[in-house]
Chain A
């Protein structure tokens, strides 16, 4: 990419960076919530078996 004009000082576009940032928020926070839920479920199963083998 060779811009003819530079020095505008304003970022044009860049929606990809924005969308990836917001998606990262959902993936990380959502992923962590799922991981917590799964670990709680696994613990419930182990408790039902009466402690660790």
Chain B
């Protein structure tokens, strides 16, 4: 029975895996920016790998993976819904990290990455909502309900859309970068609430799945698709960050070099 609040459940294994992925990418990003950022186009390889993995992953999801015991064929939606959920969370985590990096360092690379991750995260969260609704109708019986998980996910999506809208309204490059970052850090609150919503409150949405609750052949397909989404997301983010850098150079050519200590 899940009638109590499930606050005290161990989440360590869950978060440890997440932290490992976050750590590896964060180190990569820091190293990349330290070496001068957007100089080489290495990301197309990652993008092609992601594309190939998505094609294979969708074949596995649609054809070769087994039906779910109770959900039948509809269970296959898991393989696009759960990766989009993971990657939405991961991407917004990096929006928050890059925003913090920007505010502390003032380096423009971080601002471009904030804009890029926020926009890609919004795209992923739209996919998350769309697949979630299509999953909910045949299983729960409704497309949408005023449930804590669904409402908090929507708040998260709208928060980051709001941050991007705010960014579009500001013309001054410095103010734009600063307030995008502040807004992103505040919007991240809604992402953390979304993650914990199924533990803090009663919800029709089930708890996060883990390898303990998903059968092995399905875990493999799920992981494959998650990595496919991860590589595509990295490609999107780098492409988008390059675009930000190009636009900025075009719209506001730097008048003065960055402050150099005497």
Residues of A within 8 A of B (CB): 9-15, 17-18, 20-22, 24-25, 28-29, 32-33, 36, 39-40, 43, 46-47, 51-52
Q: Which of B58, B80, B123 has the most CB of A within 10 A?
A: B80
Proximity bits, B222-253, A CB within 8 Å = 1, else 0: 00000000001000100110110011001101
Could you jot down 13 A-B contacts, CB within 8 Å?
A: A11-B70, A11-B72, A17-B74, A17-B134, A18-B73, A24-B127, A24-B130, A25-B58, A25-B127, A32-B236, A39-B243, A40-B242, A47-B250
One digit per residue, 1 when the CB lies within 8 angstroms of any chain A CB and 0 when it does not, for chain B 107-123 equals 00000000000001001
Q: Is B126 an interface residue (CB 8 A)?
A: yes
Residues of B within 8 A of A24 (CB): 80, 127, 130-131, 134
Once bound together, how far apart are the Cα atoms of A32 and B167, in whole Å?
A: 19
Task: Verify A21–B81 contact, CB threshold 8 A.
Answer: yes
Q: Is residue B71 within 8 Å, beta carbon to beta carbon, of the partner chain?
A: yes
A43–B66 alpha-carbon span in the complex (Å): 46
Q: Is the CB of B70 within 8 A of A21?
A: no
Contacts of B155 in A (CB 8 A): none
Shortest CB distance A11–B (Å): 4
Q: Point out the residues of chain A lying under 8 angstroms from B123, CB to CB.
A: 28-29, 32
Cβ A52 vs Cβ B250 within 8 A: yes
**In terms of DSSP, what is the predominant structure of the interface of chain B?**
helix
- Which residue of A11, A32, A36, A47 contacts B139 across the interface (Cβ within 8 Å)? A11
A residues within 8 A CB of B139? Answer: 11
* Interface residue total, chain B, C-beta cutoff 8 A: 37
Known: A11-B70, A12-B72, A39-B243. A17 touches B62 (CB 8 A): no
Complex: A43 Cα to B139 Cα, angstroms: 45
Q: A13–B123 Cα gap in the complex (Å)?
A: 29
Q: Are the C-beta atoms of A18 and B246 separated by less than 8 Å?
A: no
Complex-state Cα separation, A40 to B240, whole angstroms: 9
Collect the chain A residues with CB atoms within 8 Å of residue B92's CB.
none
Q: How far is the CA of A51 from the CA of B115 in the complex (A)?
A: 21
Query: Separation in Å of the B117 CB from the closest CB of chain A?
Result: 13
B77 at the interface (CB under 8 A from A): yes
Q: Is the CB of A11 within 8 A of B61?
A: no
What is the CA–CA distance of A36 and B235 in the complex, to the nearest angstrom?
11
Task: Give the docked Cα–Cα distance between A21 and B123 (Å).
Answer: 15
**B137 interface hit (Cβ, 8 Å):** yes
A39 and B244 alpha carbons, distance in the complex (Å): 10
User: B240 contacts A36, CB within 8 Å?
Assistant: yes
User: Is the beta-carbon distance between A22 and B62 smaller than 8 angstroms?
Assistant: yes
The interface residues of chain A lying within 8 Å CB-to-CB of B247 are 43
What 0/1 pattern do residues 25 to 58 of B give for CB contact below 8 A with A? 0000000000000000000000000000010001
Q: Which residues of B have CB within 8 Å of A12?
A: 72
Q: Which residues of B contact A13 (CB under 8 A)?
A: 72-73
Chain B residues within an 8 Å CB radius of A36: 236, 239-240, 243
Which of chain B's residues has its CB closest to A29's CB? B232
